[in-house]
Amino acid sequence: MKETNRIVIPVDKSEISRMAVEKGVDMAKLLGVDVAIISIDDSRQFIASTALGNKLRKEHEAVLEELKKTAETKQVNAKTEIIVGDTPVDEIVKFVNDDDLIVMASHQKKGLERFVLDSVSEEVLKRVNCNVMILKPKKP
Beta strands in the chain (DSSP E): 6-11, 34-41, 78-84, 100-105, 131-135
Predicted local distance difference test score (pLDDT) of residue 136: 82
On whether residue 11 sits in a domain, the answer given is yes
Question: Nearest-CA neighbor of 53 among 63, 39, 43, 40?
Answer: 43
| Count of C-beta atoms within a 10 Å radius of residue 55 | 12
On whether residue 140 sits in a domain, the answer given is no
On whether residue 27 sits in a domain, the answer given is yes
CATH number of the domain that residue 20 is part of: 3.40.50.620
Predicted local distance difference test score (pLDDT) of residue 116: 40
Q: What is the total count of domains within the chain?
A: 1
Predicted local distance difference test score (pLDDT) of residue 86: 83
Residues of the chain with pLDDT under 70: 1-2, 44-49, 108-118, 140
Question: Which residues span the domain enclosing 81?
Answer: 6-135
On whether residue 10 sits in a domain, the answer given is yes
Predicted local distance difference test score (pLDDT) of residue 77: 97
Residue type (1 letter), 17: S
On whether residue 1 sits in a domain, the answer given is no
Predicted local distance difference test score (pLDDT) of residue 117: 44
User: Residue 86 and residue 83: Cα distance in Å, rounded?
Assistant: 10
On whether residue 122 sits in a domain, the answer given is yes
